[in-house]
Amino acid sequence: MQVKAGPLLSKINYPADLKQYSESDLEQISQELRQYIIDVVSVNGGHFGASLGVVELTVALHYALNTPYDKLVWDVGHQAYGHKILTGRRDLFHTNRVYGGISGFPKISESEYDTFGVGHSSTSISAALGMAVASQLKGETDRQHVAVIGDGAMTAGLAFEGLNHAGIENSNVLVILNDNCMSIDPNVGALKEYLTSITISKSYNRFRDDISHVLTGLSKLGPNAHKYVKKIEKSIKGTLLKQSNLFEALNFRYFGPVDGHDVKRLAQTIKDLSAIPGPKLLHCVTVKGKGFALAEKDQTKWHAPGLFDKITGEIKKSIPDKPQPPKYQDVFGHTMVELAEANNKIVGITPAMPSGSSLNIMMKAMPKRAFDVGIAEQHAVTFSAGLATQGLVPFCNIYSSFMQRAYDQVIHDVAIQKLNVVFCLDRAGLAGADGATHHGAYDIAYMRCIPNLVISSPMNEEELRNLMYTAQQENVGPFVIRYPRGNGVMPDWKRPFKALEIGKGRKICDGEDVALLTIGHVGNFAVEARAELNSEGFYPAHYDLRFVKPLDEQLLHEVFAKYKHVITVEDGSLPGGVGSAVLEFMGDHGYNANVIRLGIPDQFIEHGEQAELWAECGYDKNAIIAAVRKVAIKRTTDSMAG
Ligand SMILES: Cc1ncc(C[n+]2csc(CCOP(=O)(O)OP(=O)(O)O)c2C)c(N)n1
């Protein structure tokens, strides 16, 4: 649905159009931009609060900088809707995150204004620094390089690695710290407390303002005075601010805190800062969800609320007429509490995803035994390893694609030492509208080659519970459980726990000609496909592997001895995936069957509804039906009986 933009915004196609307006128009433009985001996101979905919070900053940046010559890098990119609208994509914005439409994150291939592809957090400082050093080497010393990073994203080690390096490169980097005290959930950690303390510290701010006033006054006295001013500033800040300001201590010139909703002042400040060479940090205080009262009030809920009524604020939820299966993440959350009540060694860990993983259920029930460690996947894994050395059983829940960050920690800190850490990989498989950066496509491939790991995937809610139950038993060693985004298949899911035999799959049904080997939730696609195929006279067998590692070799011997055609189905990358493991088994044991592998092909899959993407990749119900039809013999009921 096309939404009409306000009178000023509708004339802005690119930043050059924005620059035609006078400073006094910037407030109205910000208002119109905010309204446009509300209008479109309410009917289209997507991230919400973060973009509303940076409306003024976005307008000010494109007004003050010379983009795309100047490089503007958004961290995570979920807050860049305003940027997209001001940089040529206003009329496409209604296709945001839709299959075939524009991406919900900045993307180099989409626009020259998107300087760096994002989705995962905390990359902006390193990327902007790389651009700045490149400009320096090319002699383009007038170019500005700006990283906009949230206080949540600033909690990651990668952000500090970038700051640490930028502090010694004398290149033109401006880090804008968008401090709204929120990650998706309230931000956590000592850094957050530090930022709050410098924001509210009256004496620090008075002292800083006094220095700025004196210096600005002096610098008006001419070029020589300017030199002096720089000297004085350096020495005052060097001696006093350095002691009290973390960023100054890292050789950044710290400015702020400033009101991130005062668009005129922001534009002026950004222009002024462009004249100062070297690494600088502007601490900008904003309100997540600014301008939409409910989003300001419940910032976690409005991070990505789904569709809503923009007048009443009512979030639209379809009301089903019969009980629905739960989300896998909620089964994880509730099961954690049940297991932890019975086993006091269990603790829960999430890197900044309490709501997204549903670990918040345990955090509420047992606050001392569940930890949000900030956007810090590497730390989450090694912290879990440390806990495990002391006999605890950490359940470390990380989205599959974010786990890519912590690969060495999984190998070096957990697997080599055979520590009892349970990794619950949520959003495994195609994740949907967040697109290529967020699909959990690679975990099977990148985990399967690591010795000592058990890797499993539940086909339904009951299996997830049983795998979690199995994983927390004594001395099981490192244990991975991967499950997808979205709902399972069992409305009545709370069944008693049963320990599963590690490395054992299960036969779901016998058949003729062809065997379907599935792993995880996609097994349900095979169940549906089989029902339809049976009515057409095709009778594939179906096995649920349950474990990627160790593979159930007994089951595979049975399959290869009995069936000429084997179809593997997985919600993961074909290169290195379960199908590959089955091929390896076949080669190692001298079998010779026709193996067809269905899964994610060797390319990055864009955004869309999960069902659209499963179909695109060719492993949904219809694709399984088509694959079976190609190789199986059509039988009548009589020939089956014979
Ligand atoms: C590596 C990684 N881990 C987790 C996430 C999930 N995530 C997306 S936005 C976000 C919060 C970011 O907070 P902040 O940087 O303060 O931005 P805000 O939403 O407050 O504007 C998180 C945890 C991610 N995108 N990347």
Cβ of 405 less than 6 Å from ligand 1:
yes
Confidence check: pLDDT of 553 > 60: yes
Of ligand 1's atoms, which has the minimum distance to the CA of residue 405?
1
Q: Select from 573, 527, 230, 584 the least CA-distant residue to 429.
A: 573
Report pLDDT for 399. 98
Cβ of 153 less than 6 Å from ligand 1:
yes
Pairwise CA distance, residues 148 & 178, whole Å = 7
Mean pLDDT of all residues in 97-104: 98
Cβ of 50 less than 6 Å from ligand 1:
yes
pLDDT tens, position by position, 262-302:
999 999 999 999 999 999 999 999 999 999 999 999 999 99
Task: Please state, in angstroms and as integers, the Cα–Cα distance from residue 630 to each residue in 533, 589, 594, following that order.
Answer: 12, 26, 12
Please tell me which residue in 84, 327, 405, 530 is annotated as part of the active site: 405
Cβ of 150 less than 6 Å from ligand 1:
yes
Q: Select from 415, 3, 361, 319 the least CA-distant residue to 185.
A: 361
Confidence check: pLDDT of 216 > 80: no
Mean pLDDT of all residues in 84-90: 98
Q: How far is the CA of 125 from the centre of ligand 1 (A)?
A: 15
Q: How far is the CA of 365 from the centre of ligand 1 (A)?
A: 24
Q: Select from 1, 27, 76 the least CA-distant residue to 288.
A: 76
Q: Residues in the chain, how many?
A: 642
Q: How far is the CA of 356 from the centre of ligand 1 (A)?
A: 11
Q: Tokens 């004594």 label which residue?
A: 474
Residue nearest to atom 21 of ligand 1 (CA): 50
Lowest mean pLDDT among 43-52, 187-196, 583-592: 187-196
Confidence check: pLDDT of 642 > 50: no
Pairwise CA distance, residues 420 & 392, whole Å = 8
Please tell me which residue in 288, 290, 530, 546 is annotated as part of the active site: 288
Mean pLDDT of all residues in 538-563: 98
| Chain centroid offset of residue 488 CA | 21
Confidence check: pLDDT of 238 > 90: no
Active site residue 405: yes
Active site residue 290: no
Q: Name the percent of the chain lying above pLDDT 70.
A: 92
Cβ of 79 less than 6 Å from ligand 1:
yes
Report pLDDT for 244. 76
Q: How far is the CA of 148 from the centre of ligand 1 (A)?
A: 13
Residue 508, sorted as left (phi over 0), alpha (psi -120 to 50) or beta, turns out to be: alpha
The C-alpha angle 631, 637, 642, rounded to 5 degrees, equals 90
Cβ of 198 less than 6 Å from ligand 1:
no
Q: How far is the CA of 48 from the centre of ligand 1 (A)?
A: 13
pLDDT tens, position by position, 318-357:
888 888 999 999 999 999 999 999 999 999 999 999 999 9
Report pLDDT for 636. 79
Cβ of 281 less than 6 Å from ligand 1:
no
Confidence check: pLDDT of 34 > 90: yes
Ligand 1 pocket mutation pick from 184, 185, 400 by most atoms within 8 angstroms of CB: 184
Strand partners, 481: 424, 456
Confidence check: pLDDT of 217 > 90: no
Pairwise CA distance, residues 523 & 241, whole Å = 60
pLDDT tens, position by position, 353-371:
999 999 999 999 999 999 9
Confidence class for position 641, pLDDT limits 50, 70, 90: very low
Confidence check: pLDDT of 210 > 60: no
Active site residue 377: yes
3-state helix, strand, coil in the chain (%, to 5): 45, 15, 40
Say which residues have a Cβ less than 8 Å from residue 137's Cβ, sequence separation at least 6.
none
Pairwise CA distance, residues 215 & 229, whole Å = 6
Say which residues have a Cβ less than 8 Å from residue 212's Cβ, sequence separation at least 6.
none
Cβ of 183 less than 6 Å from ligand 1:
yes
Q: Name the percent of the chain lying above pLDDT 90.
A: 89
pLDDT tens, position by position, 401-419:
999 999 999 999 999 999 9
**Three-class DSSP labels, 34-54:** HHHHHHHHHHHCCCCHHHHHC
Buried b / exposed e across 319-348, counting CB within 10 Å, b at 16+? eeeeeebbbbbbbbbbbbbbbbeeeebbbb
Residue nearest to atom 11 of ligand 1 (CA): 183
Confidence class for position 237, pLDDT limits 50, 70, 90: low
Q: Are 300 and 360 in contact, with CB atoms under 8 Å apart?
A: no
Q: How far is the CA of 163 from the centre of ligand 1 (A)?
A: 18
Q: How far is the CA of 589 from the centre of ligand 1 (A)?
A: 46
Please tell me which residue in 32, 233, 248, 377 is annotated as part of the active site: 377
Comparison of pLDDT for 515 and 206, the residue scoring more: 515
Pairwise CA distance, residues 617 & 620, whole Å = 8
Question: What are the φ/ψ torsions at residue 214 (nearest 5 degrees)?
Answer: -60, -45
Confidence check: pLDDT of 212 > 70: no
Locate 271 and state its tokens.
Answer: 């222009």
Report pLDDT for 477. 95
Lowest mean pLDDT among 22-31, 47-56, 170-179, 197-206: 197-206
Q: Select from 498, 518, 499 the least CA-distant residue to 508.
A: 518
**H or E, element range at 640:** helix 637-641
Pairwise CA distance, residues 177 & 158, whole Å = 15
Cβ of 182 less than 6 Å from ligand 1:
yes
pLDDT tens, position by position, 576-609:
999 999 999 999 999 999 999 999 999 999 999 9
Report pLDDT for 204. 56
Pairwise CA distance, residues 524 & 429, whole Å = 14
pLDDT tens, position by position, 450-471:
999 999 999 999 999 999 999 9
**H-only helix segments in 19-123:** 26-44, 49-53, 55-64, 81-84
Cβ of 152 less than 6 Å from ligand 1:
yes
